[in-house]
């Protein structure tokens, strides 16, 4: 392939294909990186997947990898493949805002541990992707810097909170991206953009350097075009980190091999009764049912499992998450990071500066959750709200334990609907929260989950298929996902992203 004509092509390649071309010396990392940066310049004004683009630094990093390769160095698998990183992950010397006015222009003095791993793997960082403010939301409409648009239909949301990472991959603006998933923010955006997203086992990827939303739920993970690509990236970032006390001690292994599996003989697949009934769009459900049939055809034994406590997961999550978030966000006080606003009149004290800064710096959804969280934690209400939610959390963990006695993996639609239109749910918090009804149980129990496209719904938009596995059994996600993806791609006659409409060049 000649580099000149390859520009457009390179932005449609999988990370595995790019890695292969780079290894064979058919393209350079500078060419691959530049192809993506060119496409960002051309179409991202319309999509707005990125908040910040690191043109010069990404090209310098790419040139350095090319030099090392030319010198005959033995490089890591993904060396030279560029990547986009959600703006909730701190990057040294590069603005990191978490989608909030509170951190506008803030330049972190250090790298998150997962970013250190990306750099060690020789992956140029293209830029930072848009998100709902502090990762609160399911549509990116809560970003302080304007929403991201879904590449499948620019009038629709790309999911959230990591809509920027998912849209970047779907639109060919990055071959890979990093997301974070506290209640579904990797998997739900993947579902509505036709991409693959994985929430590893809690502790599987270091949280050091993530701007914390809810520390007991937060987990970073890959977003990609294919299951294999997510596995490749997962193995790069899934390593032990002494800087995170909840980091698992053994690294994630066998994921890439699992993603290359050919069959599911002996695998018991459990369809979760509670995740798929009322409220699920018929086209989403139909694509899901079809995928389950394919799994059966690949040798899986399909069983129905019931997890009755899942019906309370959403309610428990919206107490636990705000409680933890209200504590984590207390550090944004006008003294330490980013924005500082002094009161218009009256005395300038720590309290008045804090009130003025937080009033100006936080958006409505963030304020809503801080108020909810501090209320749930306050004396007299703690047991009734936070305490009850923690009990539900235990019941959900028990449901998972019982379900994994009957099945090796659990499956459901990832999100109840396809991408909705801007404005449809943004003024109705409960309607917005319901998008995560199927993804939240995994975060409450710490189990890993993967979303891959199951097909197009009756409205022509992508639907997601979710696979869940027991703690530390992330490889099972890739085995099921890899086999299903191969069968579906064959049916579609090619990758689902090739069916997305061409984006117009706007710059």
SS (H, E, C) 468-504: ECCCCCHHHHHHHHHHHHHHHHHHHCCCHHHHCCCCC
Known catalytic residue: 185? yes
Strand extents, DSSP E, 3-115: 50-53, 83-86
Stretch that binds ligand GLN, among 181-189, 264-272, 408-416, 445-453 (CB under 6 A): 181-189
Stretch that binds ligand GLN, among 42-50, 179-187, 189-197, 477-485 (CB under 6 A): 179-187
Neighbours of 312 (CB within 10 A): 18
Q: For residue 297, give the 3-state DSSP assignment.
A: helix
Helix residue ranges, H only, 48-146: 55-70, 113-120
Q: Which helix (H) or strand (E) holds 81?
A: none
Task: Report the residue number, 179 or 361, with the smaller CB distance to ligand GLN.
Answer: 179
Task: Report the residue number, 65 or 442, with the smaller CB distance to ligand GLN.
Answer: 442
- Please list every residue from 325 through 364 that binds ligand GLN, using CB under 6 A: none
Instruction: Give CA–CA dist 330/290, Å, rounded.
Output: 47
Neighbours of 323 (CB within 10 A): 24
Task: Report the residue number, 160 or 363, with the smaller CB distance to ligand GLN.
Answer: 160
Q: Torsion angle of alpha carbons 83, 441, 227, 127, nearest 10°?
A: -10
Instruction: Give CA–CA dist 439/159, Å, rounded.
Output: 13
Least distance in Å: CB of 289 to ligand GLN?
Answer: 25
Least distance in Å: CB of 132 to ligand GLN?
Answer: 7
Task: Report the residue number, 53 or 131, with the smaller CB distance to ligand GLN.
Answer: 131
Q: For residue 234, give the 3-state DSSP assignment.
A: helix
Which residues face 84 on adjacent strands?
A: 127, 177
DSSP string for residues in 244-282: STT--SSPP-SHHHHHT----TT-EEEEETTSSSTTS-H
Least distance in Å: CB of 12 to ligand GLN?
Answer: 28
- Binds ligand GLN (CB under 6 A): choice among 66, 141, 181, 241: 181
Least distance in Å: CB of 181 to ligand GLN?
Answer: 5
Q: Which helix (H) or strand (E) holds 126?
A: strand 125-129
- Binds ligand GLN (CB under 6 A): choice among 321, 339, 396, 471: 321
Least distance in Å: CB of 103 to ligand GLN?
Answer: 16
- Binds ligand GLN (CB under 6 A): choice among 165, 182, 326, 457: 182
- Binds ligand GLN (CB under 6 A): choice among 82, 124, 175, 184: 184
Contact between 161 and ligand GLN (CB under 6 A)? yes
Strand extents, DSSP E, 136-272: 176-180, 196-199, 220-224, 268-272
Contact between 320 and ligand GLN (CB under 6 A)? no
Task: Report the residue number, 33 or 230, with the smaller CB distance to ligand GLN.
Answer: 230
Q: Single out the catalytic residue among 29, 113, 143, 185.
A: 185
- Binds ligand GLN (CB under 6 A): choice among 17, 436, 474, 485: 436
Instruction: Give CA–CA dist 482/228, Å, rounded.
Output: 7
Task: Report the residue number, 261 or 439, with the smaller CB distance to ligand GLN.
Answer: 439
Closest-approach residue to ligand GLN (CB): 185
Neighbours of 478 (CB within 10 A): 30
Residues 6+ apart with CB under 8 A from 166: 158, 159, 177, 179, 189, 190, 192, 193, 195, 197, 223
Known catalytic residue: 199? no
Known catalytic residue: 86? yes
Q: For residue 411, give the 3-state DSSP assignment.
A: strand
Least distance in Å: CB of 416 to ligand GLN?
Answer: 13
Instruction: Give CA–CA dist 116/122, Å, rounded.
Output: 10
Q: Single out the catalytic residue among 29, 139, 161, 230.
A: 161
Least distance in Å: CB of 188 to ligand GLN?
Answer: 7
- Please list every residue from 189 through 228 that binds ligand GLN, using CB under 6 A: 213
Instruction: Give CA–CA dist 221/178, Å, rounded.
Output: 6
CB distance 295 to 302 below 8 Å: yes
Q: Single out the catalytic residue among 28, 29, 86, 100.
A: 86
Least distance in Å: CB of 158 to ligand GLN?
Answer: 13
Least distance in Å: CB of 474 to ligand GLN?
Answer: 18
Q: For residue 384, give the 3-state DSSP assignment.
A: helix
- Binds ligand GLN (CB under 6 A): choice among 28, 33, 165, 185: 185
Least distance in Å: CB of 440 to ligand GLN?
Answer: 7
Stretch that binds ligand GLN, among 177-185, 251-259, 386-394, 491-499 (CB under 6 A): 177-185
Instruction: Give CA–CA dist 12/402, Å, rounded.
Output: 42
Instruction: Mark residues 104-143: x for contact with ligand GLN by CB under 6 A, - for none.
Output: -------------------------------xxxx-----
Stretch that binds ligand GLN, among 110-118, 178-186, 251-259, 478-486 (CB under 6 A): 178-186
Task: Report the residue number, 88 or 496, with the smaller CB distance to ligand GLN.
Answer: 88
Q: For residue 345, give the 3-state DSSP assignment.
A: coil
336 DSSP assignment: S
Contact between 441 and ligand GLN (CB under 6 A)? no
Q: Residues touching ligand GLN: how many (CB under 6 A)?
A: 14
- Active site positions, annotated: 86, 161, 185
Task: By CB under 6 A, name the binding residues for ligand GLN.
Answer: 135-138, 160-161, 181-185, 213, 321, 436
């Amino acid at each position: 392939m000649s580099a000149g004509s390859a520009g457009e092509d390179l932005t449609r390649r999988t990370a595995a294909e790019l890695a292969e071309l780079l290894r064979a010396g058919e393209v350079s990392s500078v060419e691959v990186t530049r192809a993506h940066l060119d496409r960002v310049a051309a179409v991202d004004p319309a999509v707005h997947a990125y908040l910040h683009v690191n043109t010069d630094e990404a090209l310098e990093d790419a040139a350095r990898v090319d030099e090392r390769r030319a010198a005959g160095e033995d490089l890591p698998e993904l060396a030279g493949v560029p990547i986009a990183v959600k703006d909730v992950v701190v990057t040294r010397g590069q603005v990191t805002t978490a989608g909030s006015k509170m951190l506008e222009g803030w330049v972190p003095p250090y790298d998150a541990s997962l970013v250190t791993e990306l750099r060690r793997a020789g992956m140029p960082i293209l830029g930072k992707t848009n998100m709902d403010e502090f990762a609160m939301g399911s549509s990116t409409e809560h970003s302080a810097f304007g929403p991201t648009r879904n590449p499948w239909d620019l009038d629709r949301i790309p999911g959230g909170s990591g809509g920027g990472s998912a849209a970047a991959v779907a639109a060919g603006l990055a071959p890979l991206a990093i997301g974070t998933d506290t209640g579904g923010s990797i998997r739900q955006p993947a579902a509505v953009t036709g991409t693959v997203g994985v929430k590893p086992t809690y502790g599987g990827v270091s949280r050091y350097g993530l701007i914390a939303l809810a520390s007991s739920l937060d987990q970073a993970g890959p977003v990609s075009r294919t299951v294999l690509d997510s596995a490749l990236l997962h193995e790069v970032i899934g390593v032990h980190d002494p800087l995170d006390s909840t980091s698992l001690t053994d690294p994630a292994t066998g994921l890439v091999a699992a993603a290359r599996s050919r069959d599911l003989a002996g695998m018991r697949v459990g369809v979760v009764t509670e995740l798929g009934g009322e409220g699920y769009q018929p086209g989403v459900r139909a694509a899901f049912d079809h995928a389950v049939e394919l799994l059966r055809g690949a040798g899986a034994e399909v069983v129905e499992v019931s997890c009755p406590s899942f019906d309370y997961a959403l309610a428990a999550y919206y107490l636990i998450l705000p409680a933890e978030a209200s504590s984590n966000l207390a550090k944004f006080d006008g003294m330490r990071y980013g924005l500082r606003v002094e009161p218009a009149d009256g005395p300038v004290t720590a309290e008045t500066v804090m009130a003025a800064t937080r009033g100006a710096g936080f958006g409505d959804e963030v304020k809503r959750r801080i108020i909810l969280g501090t209320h749930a934690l306050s004396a007299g209400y703690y047991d009734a709200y936070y305490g009850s939610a923690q009990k539900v959390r235990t019941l959900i963990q028990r449901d998972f334990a019982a379900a994994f006695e009957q099945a090796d993996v659990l499956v459901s639609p990832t999100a109840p609907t396809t991408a909705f239109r801007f404005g449809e749910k943004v003024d109705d918090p409960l309607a917005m929260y319901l998008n995560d009804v199927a993804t939240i149980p995994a975060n409450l129990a710490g189990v890993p989950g993967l979303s891959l496209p199951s097909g197009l719904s009756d409205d022509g938009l992508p639907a997601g298929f979710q696979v869940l596995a027991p703690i530390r059994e992330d490889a099972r996600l890739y085995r099921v996902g890899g086999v299903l993806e191969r069968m579906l791609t064959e049916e579609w006659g090619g990758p689902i992203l090739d069916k997305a409409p061409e984006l117009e060049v706007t710059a």
